Amino acid sequence: MSTNPRAAIVGQSGGPTAAINASLAGVIKAARSNENISRIYGMRYGIEGLLKDEIIEISLTDEDLSLLASTPASALGSCRLKLPEDMSAGEYDIIDAVFEKYDIGYFFYIGGNDSMDTVAKLTRHFRDSDRDVKVIGVPKTIDNDLTDTDHTPGYGSAAKYIAVTMQEILRDCAVYTKKAVTIVEIMGRDAGWLTAAAALPGRIGKACPDYIYLPEKAFDIDRFMADIQAALEKHPNVVVAVSEGIRDAEGVYIGEAKHKGLDVFGHVNLSGAAKALEIAVKEKIGCKVRSIELNLPQRCASHVASATDIDESIRVGEAAVEAAISGQTGKMMCFVRNTPVYSVDIIPRDISEIANKAKTVPDNYINKDANGVTEECIDYILPLIQGEREIVWENGLPKHFTFDK
Amino acid sequence: MSTNPRAAIVGQSGGPTAAINASLAGVIKAARSNENISRIYGMRYGIEGLLKDEIIEISLTDEDLSLLASTPASALGSCRLKLPEDMSAGEYDIIDAVFEKYDIGYFFYIGGNDSMDTVAKLTRHFRDSDRDVKVIGVPKTIDNDLTDTDHTPGYGSAAKYIAVTMQEILRDCAVYTKKAVTIVEIMGRDAGWLTAAAALPGRIGKACPDYIYLPEKAFDIDRFMADIQAALEKHPNVVVAVSEGIRDAEGVYIGEAKHKGLDVFGHVNLSGAAKALEIAVKEKIGCKVRSIELNLPQRCASHVASATDIDESIRVGEAAVEAAISGQTGKMMCFVRNTPVYSVDIIPRDISEIANKAKTVPDNYINKDANGVTEECIDYILPLIQGEREIVWENGLPKHFTFDK
């Protein structure tokens, strides 16, 4: 395989995470030391930039790579573009021209479900047109909702941020003797993996949210009120975590306008689940109540990233390069968990079986009352948040890497 | 002074911060090694607990003290109770009985404006009734709005959290090529000190919010829209920081229902300034827009506390004990800044001149267009966020101290 080295290109796609640059660093690290790879290119703004020939050559020092791995979001930029189903569409001609221009033999795409769709289509295109390009997908998503991998790069850091912040909020809420309800809204429209991480402080420390509601189970507002009342009987400061995606039995989002008394500007979902519940609790129970949306920091808080997550994210990028060089294509790199001592193996799996499917929290991870998670669920998440990455601080702030000069 | 040692009591009051326990640790550290102090008591839930004789004896190891200094919120609990103006009120009889019961000669109260009011009243009471109790206030507030001190313990850590998070949000927002506006709402109802900290990433790194709006200047929604439009001409991702307390020229909060199209459930301030502006930008400009409230983590994110702030907060607690022992009473411990190399001296100042006044951001710290801060302002804040405290991590989360067994 050592004759005729060719170029590799790498891109990032979909929503940012705290670990997507770690996978980029892994790809670059493995590619730059591989004799079969002549040059490393990066597409700016994913496949969208590739179609516009917005391509840069990448040459990074070890120090750059380390900083890159601790920098949140997509250093190369991102996009949400899906390639056409029709393989005779003009986009594929442009792609062929770009690949010829740069003599690209290896294509690495770091992203979530939509990005794996791009990987699947490019694989099909190159196969059908008999071109020798190896196409490998590197997963990332804080949502942890990709199938066929034990977990996704980026999830562990988001889960750690949520657990750390929840523990701090629990301390903050415990200081007064007056009855108060705090509702924390956590990302995850269809999958409750992130919201489940709010349970971790209970295992580790002495503070724990009273209830946790995932989108996998229908949300019953009457039962929720009964839960809150019961908790207020026991202690004055009640803290609950809810997924942004909680829905009633008819599948209507709790944050939607439909719910009585919750006509939020007449717009759908403008308020959010926690804000809607805040208003409902204020009306029904009348005690002090507040809602907190953890919002974007969940996916970009690199300063408190999980070292396990970042290390694995680097490794999965490196493994992608090795897989491509060994002749694999049309694959996504997946984690397989080893137990009882936690470790992961990284293996390539056929992309066509993966793209456009989603993995939600299974029933045995959710308690019977659908207002908490089980010990099994915590056992699953806990190894993923372990370890803290050494951050380079400069004048009081974490130092970030950027391709923009 | 070494004859007849007497007990010291310490309490915490007002809203939690990431540094209020550091000052508690400082008081305990100095008191336990002082021969004039026989025992150290803590009031649970501030003066409210003292009035109910909810008092614990405190005896902590060095390890406990270090953990305490890294634990957010008020480990002893807090309250928002103000003592009566009328010095013949029954509360003062209860206080006298409690002080006699425990032979308390030194009273330390860690808190904000309302707490300094308690310090002032107790001083007056003990002076009028000719009792030998030294009363010292230890300031804390993330709002940085206490007069007569260069800055307040707790502000530096909140400012650091805001700067770190703003830098991460700026990275996150930079990944797409599509026009989008992100509005970040920061705490501070009347003073813009916290919102001003959003400017720090611009000095230190390469990312910077486009505009910053403080509550000290009237907020003009038309000028705001013009600002946003101008920024969108230059780059697709516009990020602004607004104080929760921004008001129009008539003094009406931007988050209030009055503003056209912003009838948020008919309740005042239920939506918040950023949410109101999100809706306004969506209506007027029509691009993608989102709002983010940084919310409680601003005051409790101990995992990313400023080492400068925590160290100074410990020192100010220690200095309070030294002041009391040397015979001072009715004082608040204040920071005096030394320049050009940053350091602080800690001096006691008369509490009666301090209580119930507030310090806002001065004109020379705000730019001419009232949509940003000056270099002078950044020079003032920057030293306060320097340094990172070594956190004890346990199973993936920061280890916290608690008095609850």
B358 pLDDT band, cuts 50/70/90, is: confident
Nearest to A165 by CA among A189, A200, A190: A200
CB contact under 8 Å between B402 and A206, yes or no, is yes
Q: Given a cut of 90, is residue A162 above it in pLDDT?
A: yes
| pLDDT of B326 | 97
Q: Model confidence over B221-249: pLDDT tens digits?
A: 999 999 999 999 999 999 999 999 999 99
Please indicate whether residue A143 is annotated as part of the active site: yes
Mean pLDDT of B334-351: 96
B255 pLDDT band, cuts 50/70/90, is: confident
Contacts of B400 in chain A (CB under 8 A): 167, 171, 205-207
| pLDDT of A207 | 87
Per-chain mean pLDDT for chain B: 93
Interatomic CA distance for residues A22 and A302, integer angstroms? 11
Interface of A with B in 196-235 (CB under 8 A): 200-201, 203-207
Interatomic CA distance for residues B391 and B378, integer angstroms? 27
Q: Model confidence over A79-106: pLDDT tens digits?
A: 999 999 999 999 999 999 999 999 999 9
Nearest to B134 by CA among B99, B178, B101, B177: B99
Q: Given a cut of 70, is residue A267 above it in pLDDT?
A: no
| pLDDT of B256 | 77
% residues pLDDT > 90 (chain A): 88
What is the predicted ipTM? 0.95
Q: Given a cut of 60, is residue A366 above it in pLDDT?
A: yes
Distances (CA, A) of B350 to B60, B123, B135, B240, B333: 31, 11, 11, 40, 9
Domains of chain B listed by start with CATH number: 6-154+301-355+389-398 (3.40.50.450), 158-299 (3.40.50.460)
Distances (CA, A) of A386 to A192, A196, A380, A381: 20, 16, 12, 10
Contacts of B264 in chain A (CB under 8 A): 264-265
B261 pLDDT band, cuts 50/70/90, is: very low
Tokens of A266: 């007449």
Q: Model confidence over A204-260: pLDDT tens digits?
A: 767 899 999 999 999 999 999 999 999 999 999 999 999 999 999 999 999 875 554
Nearest to B76 by CA among B112, B45, B41, B110: B45
Interatomic CA distance for residues B367 and B262, integer angstroms? 29
Nearest to B18 by CA among B188, B140, B163: B140
Least confidently predicted of A101-105, B204-208, B331-335, B388-392: B204-208
Would an 8 Å CB–CB cutoff place A298 in contact with chain B? no
- When scoring B168, B275, B390 by the number of chain A Cβ atoms within 10 A, the one with the most, hence best to mutate, is B168
| pLDDT of A356 | 65
Contacts of A200 in chain B (CB under 8 A): 396-397
B270 pLDDT band, cuts 50/70/90, is: low
Interface of B with A in 365-404 (CB under 8 A): 382, 385-388, 391, 393-400, 402, 404
| pLDDT of B265 | 37
Interatomic CA distance for residues A343 and A334, integer angstroms? 13
Greatest CA separation for chain A? 75
The strand pairing partners of B300, in sequence order, are none
| pLDDT of A257 | 55
Contacts of B299 in chain A (CB under 8 A): 172
Per-chain mean pLDDT for chain A: 93
* Option in A206, A300, A303 nearest B304 (CB): A303
Would an 8 Å CB–CB cutoff place A266 in contact with chain B? no
% residues pLDDT > 70 (chain B): 94
- When scoring B78, B164, B175, B235 by the number of chain A Cβ atoms within 10 A, the one with the most, hence best to mutate, is B175
CA A380, A164, B71, A227 torsion: positive or negative? negative
Contacts of A400 in chain B (CB under 8 A): 167, 171, 205-207
Residue A348 phi, psi dihedral angles, 5° rounding = -85, 140
* Option in A168, A200, A203 nearest B301 (CB): A168
Mean pLDDT of B270-285: 88
Q: Model confidence over B94-148: pLDDT tens digits?
A: 999 999 999 999 999 999 888 999 999 999 999 999 999 999 999 999 999 998 8
* Option in A205, A295, A395 nearest B292 (CB): A295
A266 pLDDT band, cuts 50/70/90, is: very low
Q: Given a cut of 70, is residue B394 above it in pLDDT?
A: yes
Contacts of A299 in chain B (CB under 8 A): 172
| pLDDT of A151 | 97
Interface of A with B in 99-158 (CB under 8 A): none
| pLDDT of A147 | 87
Mean pLDDT of A5-30: 97
Q: Which residue has the tokens 């808190």?
A: B111
Would an 8 Å CB–CB cutoff place A265 in contact with chain B? yes
Nearest to B309 by CA among B100, B159, B112: B159
| pLDDT of B206 | 74
CB contact under 8 Å between A164 and B303, yes or no, is yes
| Beta strand extents in A188-324 (DSSP E only) | 211-213, 237-243, 288-293
Would an 8 Å CB–CB cutoff place A348 in contact with chain B? no
% residues pLDDT > 90 (chain B): 88
Q: Model confidence over B179-202: pLDDT tens digits?
A: 999 999 999 999 999 999 999 999
> What is the distance, to the nearest Å, from the Cα of residue A177 to the centroid of all Cα atoms in its chain?
37
Three-state secondary structure call for residue A393: strand
Least confidently predicted of A47-51, A242-246, A280-284, B264-268: B264-268
Q: Model confidence over A106-150: pLDDT tens digits?
A: 999 999 888 999 999 999 999 999 999 999 999 999 999 998 899
pTM (2 d.p.): 0.96
Interatomic CA distance for residues A28 and A33, integer angstroms? 9
Interatomic CA distance for residues A147 and A134, integer angstroms? 22
| pLDDT of A263 | 42
CB contact under 8 Å between B386 and A396, yes or no, is yes
* Option in B73, B207, B387 nearest A171 (CB): B73
